Amino acid sequence: MTHDAVLLMAYGSPDRLDQVEAYYTDIRRGSPPPPHLLEELLGRYRAIGGGSPLSRIVEEQRNAVEADLRQRGTPMPVYAAMRHIEPRIANVVARMASDGVERFVAIAMAPQKSSNAAGYRRAVDGALAVIAATGATPPNVVFVESWHDQPRFVEALAATTREALARFQDPAAVLVMFTAHSLPARVVAEGDPYPEELAATAALVARELGLARYTFSFQSAGRTGEPWLGPDILEEIRRLSAEGVTEVVIRPVGFVADHLEVLYDIDIEAQAVARAVGVRLERARSLNTDHLFISGLADVALAALEAGQPAMTQGAVP
């Protein structure tokens, strides 16, 4: 009987200030950040308490998905790994092989497919290639390319948005703004499906909520000197205020856990802009270990395993 498993993969984020420089350097592919950019990032982590809760939350998600699968009568181990900080994807895949895993489904905790998410695939395939180079047989892997329209994921987004709307006296009058991490604008010309999948997720949630009107913005753009996808969240808040909008609920659809881009970029930076222009802004809570969301992840894993053949040959590197 095949020993199946699940691998949840996240970007990773430092949970202590003394990890920030190494983390930032890793994101920059080994190039140390200029002192002013490092200090700016350190300031953001200080503002949210000195570190990100992402690693802890992903571990809680791992444990929750494992429990969900067990309760369904389909028990299998669930592992968690990060791209830019420990536990690294390569080390976790090696541990999975030593644990006797013969096949696993790899799920990036980024619902929408993008060129950026391809880094998860490269990390897994690189790890499998290293195992194969030793003469051992690496596990087969089934990659989940996208789960942006998974029904329970959409339902969880809608339910948490509804909770946030209920904080207002007249929920029907509140404008919902969906957000996601920006990417360089050139990805559109390169045919990246990311913008379309984000729009599809937002439309599904809006339909679930019965929204006649909503808006979408991008956040957390990098400082690379090139154009990034917009409209930018801060500019959108100012624009809406100028149009007379005074109440907004932000519902991130590209993030599934609390981390810097939520706790600082929305809860601190966007909130400050909203207050300055007279907009009451509430954020729908992050999905984290929401039971609907966790069940949706388990659905994604089981559907991928049931689909049968692995997406790539063992240990192949594109």
Q: Taking the chain (318 residues) in consecutive chunks of 10 residues, what is each chunk's mean pLDDT?
A: 87 96 95 95 98 98 98 97 97 97 97 90 96 96 96 98 98 98 91 96 98 96 90 98 98 97 98 98 98 98 82 33
Q: What is the phi/psi pair of residue 215, to 5°?
A: -135, 165
Whether 106 and 194 share a structural domain: no
Q: Residue 183: how many CA atoms within 13 Å on its side-chain side?
A: 20
Predicted local confidence at residue 312, as pLDDT: 37
Predicted local confidence at residue 2, as pLDDT: 56
Whether 199 and 75 share a structural domain: no
- Asked whether 217 and 234 are in contact (CB, 8 A), the reply is no
Predicted local confidence at residue 314, as pLDDT: 33
User: For the chain, what is the radius of gyration of the CA atoms?
Assistant: 20
Question: 275-280: which pairs have CB atoms within 8 A and are 24 or more residues apart?
Answer: 277/237, 277/238, 277/241, 277/242, 278/241, 278/246, 279/237, 279/240, 279/241, 279/245, 279/246, 279/247, 279/248, 280/168, 280/246, 280/247, 280/248
* Domain count within the chain: 2
Whether 119 and 155 share a structural domain: no
Both tokens assigned to 213: 């009107």
Whether 182 and 54 share a structural domain: no
Whether 83 and 123 share a structural domain: yes
- Asked whether 243 and 175 are in contact (CB, 8 A), the reply is no
What is d(CA 250, CA 109) in angstroms, rounded to the nearest whole number?
20
Predicted local confidence at residue 116, as pLDDT: 81
Q: Which domain holds residue 261?
A: 151-283
Predicted local confidence at residue 225, as pLDDT: 83
CATH number at residue 242: 3.40.50.1400
Both tokens assigned to 23: 């983390």
Predicted local confidence at residue 308, as pLDDT: 64
Residue 316 belongs to some domain of the structure: no
Residue 313 belongs to some domain of the structure: no
How many Cβ atoms are within 10 Å of 6's Cβ, its own excluded? Answer: 28
What is d(CA 148, CA 303) in angstroms, rounded to the nearest whole number?
14
Local structure of residue 312 (DSSP, 8 states): S
The secondary element (H helix, E strand) that includes residue 78 is strand 78-82
Q: What is the phi/psi pair of residue 149, to 5°?
A: -115, 20
Predicted local confidence at residue 223, as pLDDT: 81
